[in-house]
Structure 1
Amino acid sequence: MTLVEGAGPRTGAPPEPLRRNREFLLLWSGASMSFLATRVTAVAYPLIVLWHTGSPLAMSVVSTAALLPLLLVQLPAGALVDRWDRRRLMLGCEAGRVLAVGSVALALAAGRVDVAHLAAVAFLESALAVFYRLAERGAVRNLVHPAHLPAALAQNEARGRAAGLLGQPGGVLLHSAARWLPFGFGVLGYLVSLVTLLFVRKDFQAERTAPARPGRLTGEVAEGMRWLWRQRFLRAALGYVAGTNVLFQMLALALILRIKEAGLPSATLAVVVGIGGVGGLGGALAGGRLQRLMSQRTLLIGGAVAWTLLIGAMALTARPVLLGALYAGTGFVGAVFNVAAAVYQVRITPDAFQGRVAATAGLIGSGTNALGSFAGGLLLTAWGALPTVRAIAAAMAVLALLAAVAPGLRGETAATPRTAEPVDPVEPTEKPVEPTEKPVEPTEKGEGDR
C-alpha cells in the first residue's frame, strides 16, 4: 500500500509550484543559514577548548554540555512548541543564539577563554536548536500545499546533509584563521534566519480550537506520548529506527578502527566520510520521489536489506574510495528513509501534536545513539573492527527479517492530507481522522518543484 498523496485545494485550483512559494523559500533559506551556523559552532567548541587548555577532559565537558539538551530538553520542548506560537518561538530562539554565541565571539576576540562560559553557551545554543528544529518541522506543513510536502521535507533533509558537509570543514578552517571567526559566522547565520522569519506572512500553525492549559506541561507531554503509542505502525517503525540507530553508531566507530588497523593515515577518514556525505545528499534529493513510489513498509524492509549488503561489503575491503562509496550507499538509503518517515509523521500527526510527537521520536533516536556508541566500544575492544562490522551486517539482516514479519508494520495508515482549513482535535483520537473526500494522486506538475 503506497502512501496517499495530498489532494489539491477544495476549489480545484492547481497548487503554486514549490519553487514559487515565497513563504516556504523564506523559511527554508533562513533555516539553512541557521543549520549551517549550528554545524560550524558545534565543531569549534571542542577545538577551542583543546587548543587552549590542552585538556581532553575539558573538551569532553563542553562536548557533553552541547549533547545534554538532546536528552533533557526534547520532551518539554515538544510540549511547549505545541503550546506556544511557533513563529515567535523561532524568533526568540534566533535572538537568544545571537546573544549567546556573540558573547563567545567577543570573549575570544578579546583573548579570553573560559571553559565554564563555553559549556554554558554550548548547552544554551543546543537547547534553543532543539526548540527551533521542532517548531520549524511543524511549521512546514502550514506553508506548503499537501502535494508538495514530500518535496519540501526532502529539501529540508538535503539542507541538513549539505550543512554537515560544509559546516564541519568550514568550522575548522575558520578556527584556523582566527579563534573567534566560527562564532562570528554563527552570529551572522542566526541573524539572517531571524530576518527571514520576520518576512514570512503565513501562520506557522493551525488555529487552536482550545486554549493552552497552564500548569499541565507533564500531562501534555504524556498526552503526546499516548497519541503516538496508539499509532500501531508508527510505534513499530520507531522501534525499528531505534535498532538501526544503534547499529550505525557502532558502524561509525568500527570504520575509524578499520582504517587504523589497515595502517592507513587518519586523513583517510575524511575521504570516507566526505564521499559518504555526498551519498546522503543524493538520497535526500531523491527521497521525495521514492516516497511517492513505495510504501513505508517497503522502504523499511528494502532499506535494511540494502544496508545489510553494503555493510557486509565493508568487511571485504580497506580501500578508502571503495569504503567511501559503500558508506555513501548507506547514507543514500538513510536519507531516503528520513524523508519518507518525516512525511509520514508530519501528515498523520494533528497539528497540535507535532512538537510532542517529533520530540518523542527524536528522544528515542538520541537515546539509542548513546547505547550504540557504548556497545560499539565494547565490541571493538573485544573483537576488533572486522568481526564487529560483520556482526553489524548480521544484526541488520535480522532487523530486515523482523520488519518483514512484524504485524505492526503491516497496518500502515494512509497519510491524510491537510485540508484548506485544518482543524486540530481538542483531545487525541484513537486513530488518525479519515479523509472526508477521496484523495487524488498528485500531478507531475507538483513533482518537479524541488
Structure 2
Amino acid sequence: MTLGGRFHRLFGATLVSSVGTGMHATALPLLALQSTSGPIALSLVVVAAELPWVLASLHAGVVVDRLDRRRVMVWADLGRFAVLVALVALILTSRVDLLVLVFAAFLLGLGQVFFDVAAQSAIPDFVSRDPGSLATANGRITAAESVGEDFAGPPVGSALFGVGNFLPFAGNALSFAASGLLILSIRTDAEPEEKSDVPRESVWTDIVEGVRWLVGNRTLRALAVVSCLGNVVVTAQFAMLVLLAKEVLGLPDSGFGLLLTATAVGATAGGLAAAAAAKRFGPGAVLLTGKAGVGAAVLVLGLAADAWVAAAMMMVTGALMTAEKVVVSTLRQRIVPRGLLGRVLSSSRLVVMAGGPVGAALGGVLAGAFTVQVPYVAGGVLLILVALAFYPVLNNRALARATDEPVG
C-alpha cells in the first residue's frame, strides 16, 4: 500500500527521532552513574523522564488541537535539540551534576510527550481516515519506534558512551535536528480552522471537553480501560523480569538482554503485520485475541523454567502488544473528530500510563509476598478474563457500529 511522500517523511522523522530517544535512554543512566553511584539518583533520572506524561499530557492535547501539528513536532524536536546541545556543553566543561541530569531528563521527556501526541494526531492528515491506510501507517510508525528505541538506539548510545560520554548526546541532538527538518518539509491538505471573533475557551475547558469525549464514548472508554489493565500486567512483567531471568531461568546479564531483544523483535513484526491481520480477521478479533494471547504468554512465562521458552513468550508478548496498539490507535483516529483528536489521545494515554506505576508496585508486592512467578501467573489470568469481559464491547460487530458513526 502506497501512503505517499508526506507519510514517508513522518516515518523517517519518527525513525530518526526514536533512535535518538533510544540513545539518550541508555546514555543518561550511564552518565548518572558517573556523577553519583547511588540507586536513588538513578531512579530520579528515570522518574524525571516519565513524569511529563503525568503532568503535561492533557495540556499537550490542547496545544496539538489548537496549533499546526507539524509545527508542534518541529518545536518539540527543536527544544530537545537545544537541551542536548546545552547538556553536551556542560559535559565537556565538567559541570554536570544530578540536578542537571534530572532537569535534562524531564525536558527530554516533555518534548517526547508533545511530539508523540502531535504525531499520532497528525497521521490522518498525512494519510486519510481510510481504515486500511490508517492501520498500515500506524503499524509502520510503531515498528519504526521499536527499531529506533529498542534495537538501534540503545547499543549505539552505549557504544558511543564508551568512546566519549558526550558523543551519544551530540549524536542525539543531530537526530532531533534531522527529524525536525523532515517534519518541516511536510505539506498537509488539512484546512486551517477559520478565525473567529468568539473568545477562545480556556485551556481547562478544552481539557475537560477531551476527557468528556473519552468518558462519554463507550468504545473509547473500553479501549482506554483495557489498555490500562494491559499496561498494569506488562509493567509488572518487565519490573520483575530481571529477577525471573536470574533466579528462575539462571541467565547471566547478557541473557537478560536477549530477553529484551526478543520482545523488540516481536514488537517490530507485530507492528508490520497488524494492518494485514486487522483486514483479514477484523480489528476486534486482533484486539481481543491479542489481549488473551498476551495473557497466555505471560502465564507461560511465569511457569517456564527454560530460557528458550521464555524468549519465545517475550517475542509473542511484544508482537501481540504492538498489534493491539496499532488497532487501538487506528480505531481512535477513525472515531474521534479531527479537532478533538489530540485531547482525546492525551486523555487516553494518561489513563494507560497510570497503569505503569500500579503494575510495578503490584509486581513487587506479589513477588515479595510469594514468589517471583506469582505476578506472571496472576497477570496472565487477569488479561484472559479482561478479554472475555470486554468481548461484548470490542468484538468486530460492535467496532463496526462504532466506526460507522460520522467523524469530523
TM above 0.5, one fold? yes
Match of 2:133 in 1: 148
Q: Equivalent residue of 1:433, what SS?
A: coil
Q: Equivalent residue of 2:320, what SS?
A: helix
Query: Which residues of structure 2 form unaligned runs of 5+?
Result: none
Q: Equivalent residue of 1:17, what SS?
A: coil
CA contact (8 A) 2:35 2:97 kept: no
Match of 1:103 in 2: 86
1:199 to 150, 160, 185: 185
CA shift at 1:370, angstroms?
0.9
1:345 maps to amino acid:
R
2:234 maps to amino acid:
F
CA RMSD in angstroms, aligned pairs only:
2.2
Match of 1:79 in 2: 62
2:339 to 352, 357, 360: 352
Q: Equivalent residue of 1:73, what SS?
A: helix
1:368 maps to amino acid:
G
More helix by share: 2
Match of 1:433 in 2: 406
CA contact (8 A) 1:287 1:340 kept: yes
Residues 88 and 116 of structure 1: CA distance in aligned 2, closer, same or farther (over 3 Å) = same
Match of 2:163 in 1: 177
Query: Which residues of structure 1 form unaligned runs of 5+?
Result: 1-15, 418-431, 436-450
Residues 152 and 84 of structure 1: CA distance in aligned 2, closer, same or farther (over 3 Å) = same
CA shift at 1:209, angstroms?
4.6
2:102 to 119, 141, 151: 119
CA shift at 1:251, angstroms?
1.2
**Residue 292 (structure 2) pairs with residue 305 (structure 1):** yes
Partners in 1 of 2:318 and 2:219 — Cα distance? 24
Residues 406 and 149 of structure 1: CA distance in aligned 2, closer, same or farther (over 3 Å) = closer
2:361 to 374, 398, 401: 374
2:235 to 212, 227, 249: 249
CA contact (8 A) 1:93 1:131 kept: yes
Residues 200 and 300 of structure 1: CA distance in aligned 2, closer, same or farther (over 3 Å) = closer
Greater mean deviation of Cα atoms: 166-175 or 243-252: 166-175
2:42 maps to amino acid:
M
Superposed structure 1 runs of 4+ greater than 3 Å apart: 209-215, 405-411, 413-417
CA shift at 1:413, angstroms?
4.4
**Residue 143 (structure 2) pairs with residue 158 (structure 1):** yes
**Deviation string for 1:193-224 (max 9, x for gaps)?**
12112321225x44325658546100001001
Partners in 2 of 1:408 and 1:312 — Cα distance? 24
CA contact (8 A) 1:300 1:403 kept: no
CA shift at 1:83, angstroms?
0.8
Partners in 2 of 1:395 and 1:380 — Cα distance? 16
CA contact (8 A) 2:285 2:395 kept: no
Match of 2:43 in 1: 60
Q: Equivalent residue of 1:315, what SS?
A: helix
CA contact (8 A) 2:282 2:396 kept: no
CA contact (8 A) 1:49 1:55 kept: no
CA contact (8 A) 2:211 2:343 kept: yes
2:231 maps to amino acid:
N
Q: Equivalent residue of 2:256, what SS?
A: helix
TM-score (norm 1): 0.84
Partners in 2 of 1:177 and 1:280 — Cα distance? 30
**Residue 52 (structure 2) pairs with residue 69 (structure 1):** yes
CA shift at 1:232, angstroms?
0.8
CA shift at 1:397, angstroms?
2.2
**Residue 208 (structure 2) pairs with residue 225 (structure 1):** no
CA contact (8 A) 1:236 1:409 kept: no
Residues 255 and 181 of structure 1: CA distance in aligned 2, closer, same or farther (over 3 Å) = same
Residues 409 and 292 of structure 1: CA distance in aligned 2, closer, same or farther (over 3 Å) = closer
Residues 406 and 354 of structure 1: CA distance in aligned 2, closer, same or farther (over 3 Å) = closer
Match of 1:134 in 2: 117
Residues 134 and 276 of structure 1: CA distance in aligned 2, closer, same or farther (over 3 Å) = same
**Residue 65 (structure 2) pairs with residue 92 (structure 1):** no
CA shift at 1:357, angstroms?
0.9
Greater Rg by CA = 1
**Residue 347 (structure 2) pairs with residue 363 (structure 1):** no
CA shift at 1:129, angstroms?
1.2
2:385 maps to amino acid:
V
Of the two structures, which has the highest relative contact order with CA contacts closer than 8 Å and spacing of 6 or more?
A: 1
Match of 1:168 in 2: 154
CA shift at 1:300, angstroms?
3.0
Identity in percent: 27
Residues 407 and 190 of structure 1: CA distance in aligned 2, closer, same or farther (over 3 Å) = closer
Match of 1:9 in 2: none
Greater mean deviation of Cα atoms: 54-63 or 341-350: 54-63
Partners in 1 of 2:57 and 2:227 — Cα distance? 18
Greater mean deviation of Cα atoms: 302-311 or 23-32: 302-311
1:258 maps to amino acid:
L
**Residue 2 (structure 2) pairs with residue 17 (structure 1):** yes
CA shift at 1:350, angstroms?
0.8
TM-score (norm 2): 0.93
Residues 407 and 134 of structure 1: CA distance in aligned 2, closer, same or farther (over 3 Å) = closer
CA shift at 1:355, angstroms?
0.7
Partners in 2 of 1:359 and 1:392 — Cα distance? 26
Partners in 2 of 1:179 and 1:90 — Cα distance? 28
CA shift at 1:401, angstroms?
2.2
Greater mean deviation of Cα atoms: 228-237 or 64-73: 228-237
1:102 maps to amino acid:
V
Match of 2:324 in 1: 337
Partners in 2 of 1:365 and 1:53 — Cα distance? 32
**Residue 370 (structure 2) pairs with residue 383 (structure 1):** yes
Residues 141 and 72 of structure 1: CA distance in aligned 2, closer, same or farther (over 3 Å) = same
Partners in 2 of 1:34 and 1:258 — Cα distance? 32
Aligned length: 403
Partners in 2 of 1:312 and 1:167 — Cα distance? 30
Q: Equivalent residue of 2:240, what SS?
A: helix
